[in-house]
Every structure is written in C-alpha cells, then in structure tokens.
Amino acid sequence: MENMKNEIVIDLHTHILPQMDDGSQSAAMSVQMLKRLQDQGIKWVCATSHYYAHQECMEQFLQRRRQAVFALGDALEEAGVEEYPSIRLGAEVAYFPGISQCPELEQLCLGGTRTLLLELSYTQWTPQQVEEVASLSLDRGYQVILAHPERFSHMRSYWNDMERLMSLPLALQINADSLIHWSSRKLALSLLSHAQSPLVASDCHNLTSRPPRLEKARLVVRKKLGADILTRIDETALRFTQPTGG
C-alpha cells in the first residue's frame, strides 16, 4: 500500500457536511467519513457542498453551511474524536449563466483563497459556458478547478471544448471512483496525464455507494502513470489551497 502518512495529502472535493446536499445525511455519518479519510492519511479536507444558484441565494447557502459546521463540530466532540483532517470550507458551484460576472463568487471559494471548484453542466456545453470559464480564469483572476471533467464525455463537442479548457491555467480534478472503475479509468488517466494542473479527489458522499476511496485511487495512478505524477498532483493541491495574500 502507498504510504500516505508522511505526505501532505489534500482531498479537495468532498460532501462531508451533514444534510447540506446529496452527501452526508447526518452528523454521525460525517464523523465516520472523516475517520475514514484520517485512516487513509488525508491531512486536509475541503468541504465542498453543492451550490445551485437557481435553488437558493448565496446567503441562505452560507447560513446552512455554518449550521452544518456547528453540527459536525458538536458530533465530533460528543464522539470523542480528537484527530481528524483539517477542514477547509468551500463549495462545488454548478455553472449558471452570468457566473463570470457574479460579484459575490469569492464567498464560495475555498476559505482564504480565490480557488473555485466549478461543476459544468450535464447538458450540452455551449460556447458561452466555455468562454465564461475562460473569463473566470483569465479576467477575474480565479483559480478554477474543473470538477470531474471525465463525467461529461458523452457531450457531442466534448473533445473540442476540453481542448479549449485545457489550454487555460486551470486544474482538472478527477474523481477517485473514475480511476478505480475500469470502465472510466482510461479516460481518467488520459486527462490526468495531459492536464497542466492535475488533481485527484474522492468526491465522497457517504459510506456505501460513494465512500472516501482516495488512497485506492492514488495506488492506481502510481501503478499506471508513475510516482512523479502523484507529486505533481500534491503540488497542485497545495498551490490551489494556498491562502491569498493581502
């Protein structure tokens, strides 16, 4: 097994906050998810609950997130859990028209950074959508992480759009399960190997169907692509979680 205990391994995409979305459904489940991440040698965890602009305003989301953090803290204390990964708050922001002009977007970035975890549309991407991603990166100065781009390969213009996106100074975050499952592994490895800034994250939602499995995915990467790319992945994660000065 890969020794992750002495490495700074960051899980940049998780749904560990209780009752925020389709992820953890209770504070007790969140505690167990954090324990599994701790057992896998994860040092930092980014809590990136889904944010859908068409469903709720940003202030409502942030208020719910604060309540979920308090609930998780109480559950950890009650369970007597003293060692668990450090938690950085953020969001998995679903694309919405006009996102590149949203003045409050920084509130959804990973805490203390201008790093935005962005989930693109599951319907056909439009030129506007791709160019708004470019604007976020080039004009607005956000460090964009594209969440699980391998999950959109059914798009008719996927490779043309991905070529444009991969030319931008952004990161591609591949899901652990996409590397573990053979049916999606080839594409996931290809995207990792060609990304300017590669990332792997668990995108864990629960303890059963979508549990934390980052350690197993990293073993796949090491076996198929070599140890050097794991170093690049960890360096990318550190860079994208570095607090913004000022």
Residue 246's pLDDT is: 46
Query: What is the gyration radius of the CA atoms in the chain, in angstroms?
Result: 17
Measured over the CA atoms of residue 118, residue 113, residue 53 and residue 46, the dihedral's sign is: positive
| Amino acid type, 128 | Q
With beta carbons less than 8 A apart as the criterion, state whether 169 and 194 touch. Answer: no
Residue 7's pLDDT is: 72
**Which residue in this structure is represented by tokens 């889904």?**
50
DSSP H or E run through 174: strand 171-175
Residue 20's pLDDT is: 99
Please tell me the class of the 9-240 domain: alpha beta
Residue 69's pLDDT is: 98
Nearest alpha-carbon partner for 195 in 154, 232, 156: 232
Q: How do the domains of the chain map onto residue ranges?
A: 9-240
Helices 214-225 + 227-240 axis angle, to 10: 130
Residue 3's pLDDT is: 53
b vs e for 12-49, b when ≥16 Cβ sit within 10 Å of the residue's Cβ? Answer: bbbbbbbbbbebbeebebbbbbbbbbbebbbebbbbbb
Measured over the CA atoms of residue 200, residue 205, residue 211 and residue 212, the dihedral's sign is: positive
Residues of the chain below pLDDT 70: 1-6, 245-246
φ and ψ at 57, to 5 degrees? -75, 160
